[in-house]
Amino acid sequence: MVVLNRIYTKTGDGGQTRLASGATVSKSDRRVEAYGAVDELNSVIGVARLYSGQNDRIDAMLGRIQNELFDLGADL
């Protein structure tokens, strides 16, 4: 098992992050917030699918929603 307690780049980020396009934006940028919100919703739906029991209809519906959220994340 690999244990990573601390990772240092020694460059600091100054509260900035880089988008897939290469653009640098603030970590408080609305796009960064949107990525996180979509990912978080997708994970919550994954947990809901675990607890949906054997209801194939609900599982299929939640699976379609997850696929749409993956597409949305890619579009963002």
Helix (H, G, I), strand (E, B) or coil at 50: helix
Q: What does the domain layout of the chain look like in residue ranges? A: 29-75
* pLDDT, averaged across the chain: 88
pLDDT of residue 76: 84
pLDDT tens for each residue of 3-37: 777 777 666 678 888 888 888 899 999 999 999 99
Asked if pLDDT for residue 54 goes beyond 90, the answer is no
Q: Encode burial over 23-47: b for 16+ CB neighbours within 10 A, e otherwise.
A: eeeeeeeeeeeebeebeeebeebee
**Helix (H) and strand (E) counts for the chain?**
2, 2
Where would I find the beta strands (DSSP E) of 12-62? 16-18, 24-26
17 beta partners = 25
The pLDDT-based confidence of 60 (bands split at 50, 70, 90) is very high
Type of residue numbered 45: I
pLDDT tens for each residue of 37-46: 999 999 999 9
| pTM (two decimals) | 0.72
